[in-house]
A and B are shown apart, each in its own frame.
Chain A
């Protein structure tokens, strides 16, 4: 697998770390149901077979966080953008 880093170009998988599926926005700790929301955010995942949105870190490169759209069945990468820009 090679990942098209928007900053560094097409780079080998060995330079990257995967954080896993994007869990969505961090809940508000002051919300009334914060405990339930944090449980959801920290532990529960869709874990789809197919198109997935994930966070990856270009550790041995530009050290940017990336947001990837990737197929978990084929490892094919549809898009990679800087996570900051994706927010």
Chain B
């Protein structure tokens, strides 16, 4: 069903009984050309672009739970392309351009809102670092503006500008950054893929791989064996476990990241704001809740829940930045399992077993990457050659010493 003002009016006149499910909850077939493991944002986007851009429709997405139950439905919905390193800027800017036309492309309202992402700075050294990043972005055709405290006071008068230790000196603003309704991204891609013939199979956990003549030939699942010529992994925090089933070790650790939402308030925060003196960021959802988060808990975890020290740390950052937060009541908090890579950057590549492809290492920033990740992963799977925009995301970069370490932290996943 095509969504439009007319379909809405027609359905409304009929008492909204005409709506049909947005996508097919498929039964697994015995064989596919391509199987994507993981029904998160990246897996669904990959399947969509495989069908749409490469004409491959004999494709299945296998999801162990329900689609959107992983990080795509747990993130804080921020999109931006304010990176420093050349290998990253071009990729994330491509993603931003795809976000900008996503809703027309999918015919689905994903509530893409380019409300601006503002990174605050609190010292001269931090201003210089942000100016450098802003310049790198502008050289690559990405929008960036360095603001001083006076300009920010006009936008966000409620911030704690004169904090004795961390006065707000200014910020780096990317106006095209913003937020996107995360569940709608999963559902929109699922609908687009399903309409083009892709099977979306839920409650289907991959338990192992089948190999034939040195190639991968299929998967064992909780719903029986499924044969496939090519298999793409897009399982985020569970990547190491899937790789281990194929006998491979990866430069990845799984870590828990928490997020929080407050009770609904009247419109208060017009954009996405990040505190530069601690780790805290906040935006306001269309329902009115303040959505915020901060650092990883800091230890390896497969439990989708965190501990109290990280909660306290986030709240302290929030109170330092916006003291009025102290009067707001917290509604919910949750956690998701991040595939933290050793240099903080992602991996889109083949693996050393023919037929097996890897999409992983998205750390805590993979939501904004969803469209470009799907685009590049589909290209890699369909044509067996890496997409130029993901050329820096090869798996062998660690062995070659060509790591892509945006923060300069070294091989310590909990610090990225």
Which residues of A are at the interface with B, using a C-beta cutoff of 8 A?
Answer: 1, 12-14, 17-21, 36, 39, 42-50, 52, 54, 56, 72-75
Contacts and interface: CB of A to CB of B under 8 A. Distances in A.
A45 to B, nearest CB: 6
Nearest to A40: B249
Interface string B35-48: 00000000000000
B300 A20 contact: yes
Contact of B307 (A19, A42, A54, A75): A75
Nearest to A14: B309
Contacts of A13: 299, 307-309
Given A13-B309, A20-B414, A74 B303 contact: yes
Interface string B140-159: 00000000000000000000
Contacts of B308: 13-14
B244 A46 contact: yes
10 contacts: A13-B308, A20-B300, A20-B413, A43-B398, A46-B240, A46-B249, A54-B300, A73-B302, A75-B303, A75-B307
B317 to A, nearest CB: 15
Interface in B287-313: 298-303, 307-309, 312
Contact of A72 (B303, B309, B398, B413): B303
A20 B307 contact: no
B253 A47 contact: yes
Q: Please provide the 3 A-B residue pairs with the shortest distance between their CB atoms, ordered closest to farther.
A: A47-B240, A14-B309, A18-B299
Contact of B300 (A14, A17, A39, A52): A52
Q: What is the predominant secondary structure among interface residues of chain B facing chain A? A: mixed
| Chain A, interface SS category | mixed
Contact of B249 (A14, A44, A54): A44
Contacts of A47: 240-241, 250, 252-254, 300
B342 interface: yes
Contacts, number: 76
A12 B308 CA distance: 10
Contacts of B413: 20
Contacts of B302: 49-50, 72-73
A56 B298 CA distance: 11
B13 interface: no
Given A18-B298, A18-B414, A72-B301, A44 B309 contact: no
A43 B307 contact: no
Contacts of B253: 20-21, 45, 47
B125 interface: no
Interface string B239-260: 0110010000111111000000
B250 A44 contact: yes
Interface string B361-402: 000000000000000000000000000000000000011000
B309 A49 contact: no
Contacts of B398: 39, 43
Nearest to A45: B253
A49 B254 CA distance: 9
A49 B300 CA distance: 9
Given A14-B312, A45-B252, 10 more contacts: A20-B300, A36-B399, A45-B249, A46-B244, A47-B300, A49-B241, A52-B300, A72-B301, A72-B303, A74-B303
B412 interface: yes
B411 interface: yes
Contact of A39 (B240, B241, B244, B399): B399
A12 B298 contact: no
Contact of A45 (B238, B251, B301): B251
Give the one of A13, A17, A44, A49 with max B CB within 10 A. Answer: A49
B237 to A, nearest CB: 9
Contacts of A56: 299
B401 to A, nearest CB: 9
B64 to A, nearest CB: 13
Contacts of A74: 303
